[in-house]
C-alpha cells in the first residue's frame, strides 16, 4: 500500500485585507461540540500558507509559533501567512525544518500572545485517543483565493499507525482531504488538536495526520539544537541560489550515475537545454519542475547524438536538470550541457558515502528524481540485509556489484513500517566485495528524509 504527499494548490500572490473576526480557539474542557461549534472555536488558529510554488495550511500551537509540513514551505525560508481574521505576515520565517518527518515550525512574531487576534489551540496527548472517535479536519484544501476562510471536514479516527523508526504516530481518518490541506489541524470532538494532516493513504481513501504532541516535540528538539541529525538535513543544498553558468560538464561513471544541476526559471520562461556526450555514449536528458513534473524527457537519437529539449516553465522556482547514461554502459563518459538559463551543479552529500555492516544513517532525497548512491563494503562470509525506512516516499532500492559482473539485487517491500514505506534487499554470504547501493522514489517524484540500515542478516 502506498502513501503520497499531498500536492499544494497553486495560487497567485495578491494584496489581502481583513475578513471575519477571530473565533475563540479554546473551547470548554470536556464538552463535545458539533462541527459548527468546532469550526467557530478552532478555525481562527488555522492559517493559510502561501509560497511561490503553492499553498497549504498551518496551526498556531503556541505564542508566535505555527506548525505545518516541510513540503508546504520548501524550498523557502520565509512564507506568507494569513489568518481568517485578516492577521497577515508577509514573511513568516521557518525556524525548524524536519524533512525526515515532513514537519516545519514557523515564527509568527506578535501572534497569539494574548488579547485580540488568533490564539493558540490546546493539544491533546496522542496516547489518549481511541479508534472510533469523531475527528475534524480544518485547513485550506484546493484553495484558489489569497485571503480565504478555512474549510472543515468530519470523519472517524479509523486507526493509529506507528512509524517506529521516526518515533512518530499517525492517525488515519476517513475525513475528506485534498491538496492544500497539508499542515492543517486534525481536532477531536472537544476541539483539541490531535494531528497535523499531511499524507493521503490507500489511494486517497484515507488521510493521515502525524500526532500533534509528538510532531511539536520533534520540531522543538530541532529548534533547541537537540536533534542534530534531523537538523542537518535542513542545512543541505540551497535551492534558492540562482547562480551558475550556461555551459557545464557532467562526468558519468556508470549506468546509475547521473549528473544533476539546478536551473532557476520563472513562470512563462522558455527553457532550452542541450546535452552532447563525448565518444559514442547514449545519454538521456531530463528537466524536472518544482512540482516533480517531467517537463523535458529527451532520449531519442541513440549513441553519439546530442539530446535537446525545449519547454515553457509553468512554475517560478528551482528546476532540476538530470543527465545520465541510457545505454547501461559502465565506462566513464563526459557530457557537455548548454542551457538558456544558468546551471549550477547540485551537490548531494549522500552520494559517495561509504557503508559497512552496522551502518545506520539518515539521508534524504532532496528533489524529485533524486537517486542517492552509496558504496557498501561487504565482508567475507556473512549475509547482509540493507533496509530503507521512510514516511515520505515508496523506496526503490537496488544493489549493484562494483566488480563489473553486472550482478544486481532489487529491493522488496520491507517489514516494520506500518505506512508501507520500507524496502529491503539481502546479499548472501560470499567473498569480500564492494557494491553500490541506490535509493530513489519508486514513482520518481517523492522527496524527503529516510533511514538506511546495514545489518548482518544471520543475527
Q: State the pLDDT at residue 152.
A: 95
In a domain, 240, yes or no: no
Among 208, 234, 260, identify where a domain stops.
Answer: 234
Q: State the pLDDT at residue 9.
A: 28
Quick one: 79 and 211 in the same domain? Answer: yes
For the cut 70, the answer to whether the pLDDT of residue 81 exceeds it is yes
Judge whether 146 and 178 are in contact, CB under 8 Å.
Answer: no
Quick one: 333 and 436 in the same domain? Answer: no
End-to-end CA distance of the chain: 29
pLDDT band at 179, cuts 50/70/90?
confident
For residues 255 and 156, give the distance between their C-alpha atoms in angstroms, rounded to a whole number. Answer: 48
In a domain, 184, yes or no: yes
Judge whether 192 and 29 are in contact, CB under 8 Å.
Answer: no
153: number of CA atoms within 13 Å, CB side? 18
Q: What is the pLDDT of residues 371-412, one digit of tens each?
A: 899 999 999 999 999 999 999 999 999 998 887 676 889 999
pLDDT band at 237, cuts 50/70/90?
low
pLDDT band at 2, cuts 50/70/90?
very low
In a domain, 70, yes or no: yes
For the cut 60, the answer to whether the pLDDT of residue 15 exceeds it is no
Judge whether 197 and 139 are in contact, CB under 8 Å.
Answer: yes
Q: State the pLDDT at residue 3.
A: 35
Region of poorest pLDDT, from 83-92, 302-311, 423-432: 302-311
For residues 97 and 410, give the distance between their C-alpha atoms in angstroms, rounded to a whole number. Answer: 32
Q: State the pLDDT at residue 300.
A: 76
Quick one: 335 and 413 in the same domain? Answer: no
Quick one: 210 and 271 in the same domain? Answer: no
Domain that holds residue 277: 245-345
What percent of the chain is helix, strand and coil (3-state, nearest 5)? 10, 45, 45
In a domain, 105, yes or no: yes
Closest CA to 307 of 274, 341, 340, 259: 274
Among 345, 370, 404, identify where a domain stops.
Answer: 345
Among 177, 205, 234, identify where a domain stops.
Answer: 234
Region of poorest pLDDT, from 89-98, 129-138, 194-203: 194-203
Q: What is the pLDDT of residues 251-291, one digit of tens each?
A: 887 666 788 999 999 999 999 999 998 877 888 999 999 88
Closest CA to 196 of 208, 179, 204: 208
CATH number of the domain enclosing 297: 2.60.120.380
Q: State the pLDDT at residue 30.
A: 64
H-helix or E-strand spanning residue 310: strand 307-312
Q: State the pLDDT at residue 304.
A: 64
At 263, list the grid cell: 536551473
Burial 60-91 (b: 16+ CB within 10 A, else e): bbeebbbbbbbbbbbbbeebbbbbbbebbbee
Which one has a higher pLDDT value, 262 or 415?
262
Quick one: 222 and 303 in the same domain? Answer: no
Which one has a higher pLDDT value, 221 or 180?
221
Quick one: 412 and 374 in the same domain? Answer: yes
pLDDT band at 308, cuts 50/70/90?
very high
Quick one: 124 and 188 in the same domain? Answer: yes
Quick one: 324 and 365 in the same domain? Answer: no
In a domain, 40, yes or no: yes
For the cut 50, the answer to whether the pLDDT of residue 10 exceeds it is no
Judge whether 53 and 17 are in contact, CB under 8 Å.
Answer: no
pLDDT band at 303, cuts 50/70/90?
low
pTM of the model: 0.84
Quick one: 225 and 176 in the same domain? Answer: yes
Quick one: 341 and 396 in the same domain? Answer: no
Quick one: 155 and 187 in the same domain? Answer: yes
Q: State the pLDDT at residue 292.
A: 82
pLDDT band at 425, cuts 50/70/90?
very high
Which one has a higher pLDDT value, 186 or 231?
186
Give the distance from CA 329 to its chain's centroid.
Answer: 32
Mean pLDDT of the chain: 86
> How many residues would you count in the chain?
459
Q: State the pLDDT at residue 278.
A: 84
DSSP letter for each residue of 339-362: EEEEEEE---TTTT-EE-TT-EEE
Which one has a higher pLDDT value, 116 or 139?
139
* pLDDT mean over 90-101: 94
For the cut 80, the answer to whether the pLDDT of residue 195 exceeds it is yes
Q: What is the dihedral of CA 240, 367, 376, 284, to 10 degrees?
A: -110
Q: What is the pLDDT of residues 339-356, one digit of tens each?
A: 999 999 988 889 889 999
Q: Which residues contact 457 (CB under 8 A, 6 or more apart)?
A: 382, 383, 384, 385, 426, 427
Quick one: 338 and 417 in the same domain? Answer: no
In a domain, 239, yes or no: no
The cell 557545464 sits on which residue? 248
Most confident of 17-21, 119-123, 249-253, 364-368: 119-123
Number of domains in the chain: 3
Q: How many CB atoms lie within 10 A of CB 132?
A: 9
Amino acid at each position: 500500500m502506498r502513501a503520497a504527499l499531498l500536492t499544494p494548490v497553486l495560487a497567485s500572490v495578491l494584496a489581502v485585507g481583513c475578513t471575519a473576526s477571530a473565533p475563540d480557539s479554546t473551547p470548554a474542557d470536556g464538552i463535545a461540540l458539533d462541527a459548527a461549534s468546532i469550526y467557530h472555536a478552532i478555525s481562527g488558529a488555522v492559517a493559510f500558507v502561501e509560497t511561490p510554488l503553492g499553498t497549504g495550511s498551518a496551526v498556531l500551537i503556541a505564542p508566535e509559533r505555527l506548525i505545518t509540513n516541510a513540503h508546504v514551505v520548501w524550498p523557502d525560508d520565509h512564507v506568507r501567512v494569513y489568518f481568517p481574521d485578516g492577521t497577515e505576515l508577509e514573511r513568516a520565517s521557518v525556524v525548524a525544518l524536519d524533512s525526515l518527518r515532513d514537519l516545519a515550525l514557523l515564527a509568527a512574531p506578535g501572534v497569539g500572545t494574548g488579547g485580540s487576534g488568533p490564539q493558540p489551540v490546546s493539544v491533546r496527548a496522542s496516547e489518549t485517543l481511541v479508534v472510533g472517535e469523531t475527528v475534524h479536519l480544518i485547513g485550506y484544501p484546493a484553495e484558489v483565493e489569497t485571503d480565504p476562510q478555512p474549510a472543515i471536514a468530519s470523519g472517524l479516527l479509523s486507526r493509529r499507525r506507528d512509524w517506529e523508526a521516526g518515533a512518530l504516530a499517525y492517525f488515519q481518518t476517513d475525513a475528506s482531504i485534498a491538496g492544500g490541506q497539508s499542515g492543517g489541524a486534525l481536532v477531536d470532538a472537544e476541539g483539541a488538536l490531535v494531528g497535523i494532516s499531511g499524507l493521503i493513504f490507500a489511494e486517497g481513501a484515507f488521510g493521515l495526520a502525524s500526532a500533534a504532541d509528538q510532531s511539536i516535540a520533534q520540531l522543538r528538539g530541532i529548534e533547541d539544537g537537540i536533534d542534530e541529525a534531523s537538523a542537518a538535513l535542513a542545512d543541505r543544498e540551497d535551492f534558492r541560489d540562482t547562480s551558475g553558468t550556461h555551459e557545464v560538464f557532467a562526468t558519468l561513471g556508470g549506468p546509475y550515475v547521473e549528473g544533476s544541476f539546478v536551473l532557476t526559471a520563472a513562470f512563462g520562461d522558455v527553457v532550452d537545454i542541450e546535452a552532447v556526450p563525448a565518444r559514442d555514449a547514449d545519454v538521456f536528458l531530463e528537466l524536472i519542475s518544482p512540482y516533480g513534473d517531467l517537463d523535458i524527457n529527451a532520449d531519442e537519437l541513440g549513441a553519439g547524438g546530442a539530446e535537446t529539449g525545449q519547454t515553457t516553465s509553468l512554475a517560478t522556482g528551482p528546476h532540476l536538470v538530470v543527465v545520465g547514461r541510457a545505454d547501461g554502459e559502465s565506462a566513464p563518459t563526459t557530457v557537455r550541457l548548454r542551457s538558456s538559463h544558468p546551471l549550477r551543479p547540485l551537490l548531494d552529500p549522500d552520494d559517495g558515502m561509504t557503508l559497512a555492516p552496522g551502518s545506520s544513517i539518515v539521508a534524504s532525497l532532496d528533489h524529485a528524481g533524486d537517486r542517492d548512491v552509496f558504496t557498501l563494503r561487504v565482508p567475507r562470509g556473512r549475509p547482509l540485509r540493507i533496509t530503507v525506512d521512510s514516511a515520505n516516499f515508496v523506496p526503490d532500492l537496488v544493489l549493484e556489484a562494483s566488480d563489473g559482473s553486472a550482478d544486481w539485487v532489487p529491493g522488496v517491500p520491507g517489514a516494520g513500517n506500518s505506512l508501507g514505506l520500507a524496502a529491503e534487499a539481502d546479499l548472501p554470504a560470499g567473498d569480500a566485495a564492494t557494491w553500490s547501493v541506490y535509493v530513489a522514489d519508486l514513482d520518481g517524484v517523492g522527496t524527503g528524509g529516510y533511514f538506511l540500515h546495514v545489518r548482518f542478516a544471520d543475527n
